[in-house]
Structure 1
Amino acid sequence: MTSTPGERERRTSERVIALLMLLIHTRHGYTTAQIRRHVEGYAELGDEAFEKAFQRDRALLEDIGVPLSLEQPEDADARHVVDASALLLPEIDFSGAERRALLHAREVWSETRLQTEVMRAVGLLVDPGSAGEADDGLGLPRVVQRLTPNLEVFLDAAVEQQVLAFGYRTAAGAVSPQDRPRRVRIWSALEIGGAWYAAGWDLDRQGERLFRVSRVIGRPEELPGTGSDAPARPADWNPVEIRDRLLGQGEGLRDRVRLWVAPGRGHSVRLRGQAVTPTAQDGAAPGEGWELWETDRPAHDGLVQLCGGLMGVVQPSAADPDVVAEVLAAWRRVAEVHDGAPPPHPELAKPRQSRYRQGQRERVSRLLDIVGLANRAGGITKVELADRLELSPKALDADLRDLQYCGLPERLFPGWLFDVDAESDVVEVRQAVDLPAPIRLSLPEAHRLSAALDTVAQMPHADDEVAPAAVTAAARIRQVLADVGHTGATTSVRPSTGGTDDPGDAAAVVPSAADGGGAGGHEPPATPVTSFWDVHADQDTVRVLMDAVARHRVVRLRYHALHSDRTTEREVEPVQLVQSGVVLYLQGHCRTAGAMRTFRVERISAVEPTGEIAKARRRPKKTMLTPVDTTLEAVLAWHHRIRDLADDYAPRLEAQDADGRRLTRLGLLSEDAAIALAGMHAGDVEVLEPAELRQAVRDRALAAIRRLETAVRL
């Protein structure tokens, strides 16, 4: 009789847990032959099948944090042994603020697997109901979940600094094929500007390199035994330097730029700058009523994006010829890309939905977590257990039923399966004395939790205690790693560095707002995983909105709508903040419009509470960030280096062309919105269809070029 996948998963879980309970029942361990004889599910397998199954089970236990070793006594067979002194998770006496910081850490990851691992780790360390002061987390941004292909391979490789081989396409489109792959010793995985990068030592180019994970081609391959002479991650390696290089941030004052603004238009420039009196060096005004404004120059290609998004209503003055040349070159690229009919493109299809499916590893660790948490507390309520493990009551009941078939191997210890009363409101697991507490965090889990806390430390908070508490909580967790001999640090001499593998990477990352960046001033240390909270938003505005969401305070805000280029004042009943990549949104009931609306926080120029407390509104089940009532459908081609940005527009159909460009059919609000999108990205976004929209983009670019050339007398 064939079994279902669910039945096979349950049997595998029972076998792995039986293997663990057998090994921790005695400090002397067992030989491979004894394990095969005693653990149900092994004996009926042939030699080759048993070896494969046993090695998979052993690797799974190591993955979830079990300290397994193989000891070789004299004149005897080798024995598999669990180090009982390093098996269990130590209790850490976190302060109330540290517990709140840990609960916040559950919410910061956008990658589903990372969030799942951090939620599990926090659930083992902290009771969500014991954070001291009332703090239900309503003010925190709700993070839109994403899946970056191959990210987990780089995350795992960074922990042990393994060598990976992979095909790669640079920002410029050059391809390193899989038959001649890049070979890199991975030092760290970094989230910068909402994108994931892998940093490490390139064995073939003999230098430090940085790779954007979304540009990896195919599945990376581990190369065991390779690169032993490659430098390890240097002790003084600084991820902040990489982030500053990519985002164009760092020390020093920003340059100022002078821009002509059409009458009644260009509100984003007016909101961030100051009106100035023109001089002879600024050249002639482009038209009647145009005004001159001065503002900070955005980092990297931010000036091109600013002028491109407002192509025809904002242009640089003649005071700085280099700026004029830069903007003209960008607008000319837009016009050239949209010249003539586009070549035929592949047929578009519905996007593939990447979903994270929890596997055997997560299932086994969750079942063991239930045992450890229940035993450590001498019994734990279902409510607290479900809260800690982020389980629904139905899922928890199913796990409790499955636990009744787990425990010591029945062949050697008849009647010693776990004794669990699945119907009681208080969970107790009897006949599990060898597991009196949860198993320690695995090394990857501990690093990812400490990295999440570093991210919490960078965020703005309505509660001033949370950011510094996140720093101390992360330090406590790193101390636990050090106590068991895992620091993730290195002591090698720093080699000469070559910088990013992709010169285009700097331009591929959308620059942060002028006043964005790490709110707490906290610089994450060099570890296997680092995340920067590079959200585009004024930090004080975010704090006010977090407090308003948590306390249901009505706010009055001034908002600039990009597609209409208008600034309006609104009264809003905040419902939730939503973070998608580096963009933060406020969703709430707009009293001015009389309906739910979504606002990009970076476009809010002023916000203040009115003093009124609104009736709490239910949070939407889905975070709809793209416009529903779009009036224009278009097919766009996204250059490889910015192809990930297409996700923000919820493509309905998509494909990839021979050049690696991402082709998408999507809905847009208006012709102006489409032109702004093409102008912002200076030829990296091309309108393919409809033909009249493609021509409108070219016409707008040519008109803007003529006006700028005339104004500066080129």
Structure 2
Amino acid sequence: MAKDTEKLIRQLSLISYLMAERRPVTATEIRRDVEGYSDMTEDAFARRFYADRAELDALGIHLSVDKPADGFSEQENYSLAPEAFHLPPIAFTDSERAALQTALTLLDGEFAYAEPLRLALQQIAWGRPSPLGSDSRQTIGLGITASAGGGELSSRLAKIDTAIYRRKRIEFEYHTMQSDETALRKVDPYHLLFEGGQFYLVGYAHERKDVRVFRLSRIRGKVAYATKAEHDFQRPDEFDPRGYANRIPWQLGEEVGVAEVEVPEGVAWYVERQFGLYGSFEGQVFRTGYAQPRLLISWALSFGLRILGPAALVDEARRRVDDLIEAHRGDPPERVASGLVPPPVPVPETNGRGRGADAAIRPERFARLVTLASVLIAAGRAGERLQVKDVCEQLKMSPQELREDVSVLNVVNFGGGAYVIYAEVLPSGEIEVDPEPYSDTFDRAARLLPIEANALVAAIDLIGRAHPDLRSARGKVVGALGFDPADEGLQIVSPRVEDAITHAVELAVHESRLLKIEYWTQTEDRYSDRTVEPYALFNGKEAWYVAAWEQERGLRHFRLDRIKNAEALDEHFERREEVNPIADIGGWPRTGTVGGSRVARVLISAEQARWVREQRTVLAELPDGRIIVEITFKSIDFLVREVLKEAGDAIVLEPADAREAVLVAAEGLIARAT
């Protein structure tokens, strides 16, 4: 029998034994009665028992230890209180359970934590039917689903998630963008973030002797434990994980100055709502500290804002705009030529299980076994036979994995030869469960393991902006757990939206009310009052959107952050059968490419190439380090803003009308500055 299987049998039997005894027991009793320990020497038992306790502790299952006054470890007494293993009952409403099932339906197959999410929902929906068929599935779409993005990154994510809870130091090769170098890093992992379509690790970097943020896609190769110790560190009490969410790029690093940016009255509300946390207003002047001058200039240029000070920042912004103007006058400086070096072809990632680029992390087998035990016991007590294919589908496991797990559970016991369960996989494809009385260890839902709690709350946070029932369910989950997983392991950072706007829009969507909005179209810098029929909410990398029908323009998509005011009217509307508001959810919300788009070829400076390479399709690489990328666009104004955002490090090669539009916009910036 494999060592991992032996370990699982020991740990599950230990839990069963302690729960059945309902009293403190000694290590001697555990060694004598618990499956897997009795044939060990005293030294081997001491090592294995300590390691098993540490692993269970890392999974959130804490054994109580009563130490005697004389300090002899042989006389320590161990117990497991019911509340340390069982999940407190959670009184979800039917609509909350339906919303949670919707979360799994939307995320299944693309969410990095989809499999532990499935197990978590099995636990919290204990004894209740799955409320499928909720109409919310037609009113929510997801452009961003927190997919790990491939087998290799999935493996890193799983290792880091486990290391956070086990307080294990990790090491990996990391490519630092600022220096364009790759080097070994040793890190105490504190926290995971998902923001803007990417996973990030926050941890103490031993080489830097400070807390740093690492983008998982920039890790090279495998993540490994740095030591063989059970625990390597304790996260400092003063560490605040929420301080690393929604950070603004120009403030990353040591502050070098305070910028003054003139904000026209027409967009002051937007800048204050979206960026007010990062500075202060004095009249029409926005003051913000900055560590990265180029990124502050990039932000100001993308909104057409004028930088007033300090002088060095004004001069750099002027130089960058002058360079942009010079590069767009006359013919382009470079044309795509056949002699350019083509970019390397990316190698498709796989996790070895045929799941391809959308591989998801798998929960530890312990979690699956506990959930399977609960499923089998429920069927046995009801006198029902389960279908192998149904259980495999429910828990996303293969028939072979199911047979192996059933074999493991069949030898889990709680002492004295009393086994927790006996189940048999029949040739007919059914599972027969012996309906004899069982230990009550697994007859109620177990506590959510850390990865399951992460999955559940992360799924809620990813979708909760679009569904009020998910937000209320979140409060109940956190209350039952006694902690917020977003503070403990994984935090989903959603695009910022005003609560009042969100409430008005989601109310109108779910109750089919007409929605009145005052909308700012950034590309045209104009406002319009509109009354629309809202059908669905969905997210993208930069924002949440509402898909709505306009009488004269058909189906349109409005960014929630650009809605200045919103009101759900009392008047209701009949949903149009021909409208599928989330039909294109796999298109531009994920790729950024709108149907009917044109393609611009853009030259990127060598200094900026490594950053842009992560975001754009590279068409060619020049010998001097510059690259040519493509940017798809439907509106010239959109392309102009994307080029201005590069602060002089991007030059449009073609088409000609796009070059001219960038030139006009840049000259306009100079005119406003004089």
Q: Which band: TM-score by shorter chain?
A: 0.5 to 0.7
Change in CA separation of 1:270 and 1:598 when aligned onto 2, cut-off 3 Å: same
Counterpart-to-counterpart distance in 2, 1:379 and 1:405: 19
Change in CA separation of 1:563 and 1:430 when aligned onto 2, cut-off 3 Å: farther
Counterpart-to-counterpart distance in 2, 1:331 and 1:321: 15
Q: Once the two structures are superposed, what CA deviation does each residue of 1:579-614 show, in whole Å capped at 9, x if it has no partner?
A: 2234212224443223x3333222333333341232
- Tell me by how many angstroms 1:472 deviates: 5.7
Give the aligned partner of residue 474 of structure 2.
470
Change in CA separation of 1:296 and 1:24 when aligned onto 2, cut-off 3 Å: closer
| Alignment equivalent of 1:158, drawn from 164, 183, 190 | 164
Corresponding letter in the other structure for 1:692? E
- For residues 586-625 of structure 1, what are the structure 2 equivalents within 5 Å? 586-594=546-554, 596-610=555-569, 611-615=571-575, 620=582, 623=585, 624=587, 625=589
Give the aligned partner of residue 515 of structure 1.
none
Give the aligned partner of residue 340 of structure 1.
333
Give the aligned partner of residue 654 of structure 2.
692
Counterpart-to-counterpart distance in 1, 2:3 and 2:582: 38
- For residues 416-431 of structure 1, what are the structure 2 equivalents within 5 Å? 417-418=422-423, 430=435
- Tell me by how many angstroms 1:551 deviates: 2.0
Give the aligned partner of residue 633 of structure 2.
668
Counterpart-to-counterpart distance in 1, 2:401 and 2:458: 30
Give the aligned partner of residue 321 of structure 2.
331
Counterpart-to-counterpart distance in 2, 1:708 and 1:634: 22
Corresponding letter in the other structure for 1:93? P
| Alignment equivalent of 2:498, drawn from 528, 531, 538 | 538
Corresponding letter in the other structure for 1:548? A
Counterpart-to-counterpart distance in 2, 1:469 and 1:13: 35
Give the aligned partner of residue 536 of structure 2.
576
Change in CA separation of 1:642 and 1:112 when aligned onto 2, cut-off 3 Å: farther
Counterpart-to-counterpart distance in 2, 1:467 and 1:413: 43
Corresponding letter in the other structure for 1:681? E
The question of whether the paired residues in 1 share the 8 Å contact of 2:453 and 2:485 is answered with no
Give the aligned partner of residue 224 of structure 1.
227
Q: Once the two structures are superposed, what CA deviation does each residue of 1:156-205 show, in whole Å capped at 9, x if it has no partner?
A: 2222232222222233243133xxx1222222223356543322222233
| Alignment equivalent of 1:236, drawn from 218, 238, 244 | 238
Counterpart-to-counterpart distance in 2, 1:256 and 1:202: 34
- Tell me by how many angstroms 1:206 deviates: 2.6
Give the aligned partner of residue 282 of structure 1.
none
- Tell me by how many angstroms 1:272 deviates: 3.9
> Helix, strand or coil for the counterpart of 1:113?
coil
The question of whether the paired residues in 2 share the 8 Å contact of 1:420 and 1:430 is answered with no
Corresponding letter in the other structure for 1:118? L
Counterpart-to-counterpart distance in 2, 1:656 and 1:549: 47
Query: Would you say how many aligned residue pairs link Structure 1 and Structure 2?
Result: 579
The question of whether the paired residues in 2 share the 8 Å contact of 1:373 and 1:438 is answered with no
Counterpart-to-counterpart distance in 2, 1:665 and 1:165: 36
Counterpart-to-counterpart distance in 2, 1:550 and 1:215: 40
Corresponding letter in the other structure for 1:208? V
| Alignment equivalent of 1:258, drawn from 244, 262, 277 | 262
Give the aligned partner of residue 100 of structure 1.
96
Change in CA separation of 1:389 and 1:449 when aligned onto 2, cut-off 3 Å: farther
- Tell me by how many angstroms 1:476 deviates: 3.1
- Tell me by how many angstroms 1:373 deviates: 3.9
Q: Once the two structures are superposed, what CA deviation does each residue of 1:524-563 show, in whole Å capped at 9, x if it has no partner?
A: 7984424253413332222122122222223233444445
> Helix, strand or coil for the counterpart of 1:341?
coil
Give the aligned partner of residue 551 of structure 1.
511
Change in CA separation of 1:621 and 1:431 when aligned onto 2, cut-off 3 Å: farther
Percentage of pairs with the same residue: 18
The question of whether the paired residues in 2 share the 8 Å contact of 1:640 and 1:660 is answered with no
The question of whether the paired residues in 2 share the 8 Å contact of 1:159 and 1:444 is answered with no
The question of whether the paired residues in 1 share the 8 Å contact of 2:201 and 2:215 is answered with yes
Counterpart-to-counterpart distance in 2, 1:123 and 1:227: 30
Counterpart-to-counterpart distance in 1, 2:168 and 2:320: 41
The question of whether the paired residues in 2 share the 8 Å contact of 1:106 and 1:115 is answered with no
Q: Once the two structures are superposed, what CA deviation does each residue of 1:370-397 show, in whole Å capped at 9, x if it has no partner?
A: 4304535876899x999x9995799999
Give the aligned partner of residue 147 of structure 1.
148
Corresponding letter in the other structure for 1:408? N
Question: Is residue 429 of structure 2 the alignment partner of residue 433 of structure 1?
Answer: no
Corresponding letter in the other structure for 1:538? E
- For residues 277-296 of structure 1, what are the structure 2 equivalents within 5 Å? 294=284
The question of whether the paired residues in 2 share the 8 Å contact of 1:462 and 1:547 is answered with no
The question of whether the paired residues in 1 share the 8 Å contact of 2:191 and 2:488 is answered with yes
TM-score between the two structures when normalised by the length of structure 2: 0.65
Question: Is residue 288 of structure 2 the alignment partner of residue 269 of structure 1?
Answer: no
The question of whether the paired residues in 2 share the 8 Å contact of 1:552 and 1:614 is answered with yes
Change in CA separation of 1:359 and 1:213 when aligned onto 2, cut-off 3 Å: closer
Change in CA separation of 1:158 and 1:404 when aligned onto 2, cut-off 3 Å: closer
Give the aligned partner of residue 545 of structure 2.
585
Q: Once the two structures are superposed, what CA deviation does each residue of 1:13-36 show, in whole Å capped at 9, x if it has no partner?
A: 99998888777787623448979x
Corresponding letter in the other structure for 2:474? A
Corresponding letter in the other structure for 2:595? D
Counterpart-to-counterpart distance in 2, 1:319 and 1:130: 62
- Tell me by how many angstroms 1:669 deviates: 1.2
The question of whether the paired residues in 2 share the 8 Å contact of 1:97 and 1:131 is answered with no
Pick the structure with more helix per residue.
Answer: 2
Change in CA separation of 1:368 and 1:356 when aligned onto 2, cut-off 3 Å: farther
Change in CA separation of 1:364 and 1:660 when aligned onto 2, cut-off 3 Å: farther
Counterpart-to-counterpart distance in 2, 1:655 and 1:351: 17
- For residues 18-29 of structure 1, what are the structure 2 equivalents within 5 Å? 28-29=33-34
| Structure 2 unaligned spans of 5+ | 18-29, 41-51, 65-77, 253-257, 273-282, 350-355
Counterpart-to-counterpart distance in 1, 2:526 and 2:432: 58
Q: Once the two structures are superposed, what CA deviation does each residue of 1:345-372 show, in whole Å capped at 9, x if it has no partner?
A: 4246588476344687577754652430
- Tell me by how many angstroms 1:424 deviates: 12
Change in CA separation of 1:473 and 1:656 when aligned onto 2, cut-off 3 Å: farther
Counterpart-to-counterpart distance in 2, 1:381 and 1:659: 73
Counterpart-to-counterpart distance in 1, 2:318 and 2:382: 67
- Tell me by how many angstroms 1:104 deviates: 5.2
The question of whether the paired residues in 2 share the 8 Å contact of 1:571 and 1:590 is answered with yes
Give the aligned partner of residue 53 of structure 1.
none
> Helix, strand or coil for the counterpart of 2:243?
helix
The question of whether the paired residues in 1 share the 8 Å contact of 2:387 and 2:429 is answered with no
The question of whether the paired residues in 2 share the 8 Å contact of 1:193 and 1:582 is answered with yes
Counterpart-to-counterpart distance in 1, 2:239 and 2:601: 43
> Helix, strand or coil for the counterpart of 2:221?
strand
> Helix, strand or coil for the counterpart of 1:112?
coil
> Helix, strand or coil for the counterpart of 1:198?
strand
- Tell me by how many angstroms 1:258 deviates: 3.0
Corresponding letter in the other structure for 1:191? F
Question: Aligned-pair RMSD on alpha carbons?
Answer: 5.9
- Tell me by how many angstroms 1:327 deviates: 3.7
Change in CA separation of 1:273 and 1:198 when aligned onto 2, cut-off 3 Å: closer
> Helix, strand or coil for the counterpart of 2:654?
helix
> Helix, strand or coil for the counterpart of 1:446?
helix
The question of whether the paired residues in 1 share the 8 Å contact of 2:97 and 2:125 is answered with no
Change in CA separation of 1:409 and 1:632 when aligned onto 2, cut-off 3 Å: same
- Tell me by how many angstroms 1:477 deviates: 0.6
Counterpart-to-counterpart distance in 2, 1:92 and 1:161: 26
Counterpart-to-counterpart distance in 2, 1:368 and 1:678: 53
Counterpart-to-counterpart distance in 2, 1:621 and 1:62: 45
Corresponding letter in the other structure for 1:232? Q
The question of whether the paired residues in 1 share the 8 Å contact of 2:120 and 2:448 is answered with yes
Give the aligned partner of residue 200 of structure 1.
203
Give the aligned partner of residue 169 of structure 1.
175
Give the aligned partner of residue 185 of structure 1.
188
Counterpart-to-counterpart distance in 1, 2:472 and 2:427: 41
